[in-house]
Amino acid sequence: MEYVKDKIVFITGASAGIGKACAEIFAENGAKLSLSARRIEKVENLAAELKEKFGAESYVFKMDVTDRNDVEEKINALPEEWKAIDILINNAGMGRGLNKLYEDNVDGWEEMIDTNVKGLLYVTRNIVPGMAERESGHVINIGSIAGREAYAGGGVYCATKHAVNAITKSLRMDVLDKGIRVSAVDPGMVETEFSVVRFYGDEEKAKSVYNGLTPLTGTDIAEAVLFCATRPKHANINEMIIMPSVQANAFMTYRKT
Ligand SMILES: NC(=O)c1ccc[n+]([C@@H]2O[C@H](COP(=O)([O-])OP(=O)(O)OC[C@H]3O[C@@H](n4cnc5c(N)ncnc54)[C@H](OP(=O)(O)O)[C@@H]3O)[C@@H](O)[C@H]2O)c1
């Protein structure tokens, strides 16, 4: 087992949900955290909490992954002691709507593609060269069951996560000779702010997604990410698919009403 103590872990989308849970579990295990999101105050509060609880050191900054210049500038401007990133967790992502493709809101498509695909690419493009130079590093992409299967009303979200799956596989080949590992963690339903964002702030509709079933928590996924990050150097977890016990695939769940 490899330990993450004192390793620099760079997490996008650390203000909520899975990203926040990853920050917590890595802090508990002694890692140094480089944390970002757009809602900087939430990330600052989290960093303060993790300092208090685990003595964790964090570097916190505001970054919008959809803004190519912002990503480049923020990563270039990392203080010297935060530059040698050991583990990149590409987590920032979102869904918008659950509508028939031919009736769907095109603005939502732009947001999903810009965040889930282009955002992940910008961050990866700016961090992996340093890992390649040091011949060391681990990229862990948070994909989704939506990257493995398509479901009705999820055409564009599923397309973005299928893209993440393809990027993960290609990147693994591209860095094979560089001592860098690449893993995908692909969850089913996780109760986070995801559905609230998907339904544009409609809390009631978001809640109803989890009616009659026990979804995964951010911590369930963070534990899987930590497992990937703690394998011995010669072993890589290529992919993990984690589902609630009552979800068989992307579109079939068992609900007790
Ligand atoms: N929840 C699920 O059921 C589920 C299932 C499979 C996969 N996933 C994936 O898991 C990842 C995390 O989602 P979650 O469930 O934890 O949702 P969440 O609670 O809504 O968290 C999403 C995070 O992404 C950040 N983010 C969104 N747009 C961003 C941007 N443009 N720039 C920087 N950060 C941005 C948000 O921060 P700010 O808003 O503060 O920027 C937030 O911290 C996503 O990639 C999602 O697709 C979720």
Confidence (pLDDT) at 257: 76
**Structural contact between residues 63 and 74, judged by C-beta atoms closer than 8 angstroms:** yes
- Look up residue 32 and give its two tokens: 């140094």
Residue 77 falls inside a structural domain: yes
Residue nearest to atom 47 of ligand 1 (CA): 93
Confidence (pLDDT) at 187: 98
Residue 2 falls inside a structural domain: no
Cα-to-centroid distance, 177 and ligand 1 (Å): 31
Confidence (pLDDT) at 2: 77
Q: Find the domain containing 238 and state its range.
A: 8-242
CA distance 116 to 157: 8
Residue 212 falls inside a structural domain: yes
Cα-to-centroid distance, 1 and ligand 1 (Å): 29
Residue 249 falls inside a structural domain: no
Phi, psi of 44 (to 5 degrees): -60, -45
Residue 254 falls inside a structural domain: no
| Mean pLDDT, 10 residues at a time, the chain of 257 residues | 92 98 98 98 98 98 98 98 98 98 98 99 98 98 98 98 98 98 98 98 97 98 98 97 98 93
Site residues for ligand 1, CB cut-off 6 Å: 12-19, 37-39, 63-66, 91-94, 115, 119, 142, 144, 187, 189-190, 192-194, 197, 218
> Which of 142, 209, 216, 246 for a ligand 1 pocket mutation test, highest count of atoms within 8 Å of Cβ?
142
In sequence order, what are the residues at sequence separation of 6 or more whose Cβ sits closer than 8 angstroms to the Cβ of residue 242? 185, 186, 187, 188, 216, 220, 221, 224
Residue 118 falls inside a structural domain: yes
Active-site amino acid positions: 157, 161
Residue 251 falls inside a structural domain: no
Q: What is the CATH number of the domain that holds 206?
A: 3.40.50.720
Residue 256 falls inside a structural domain: no
The number of domains in the chain is 1
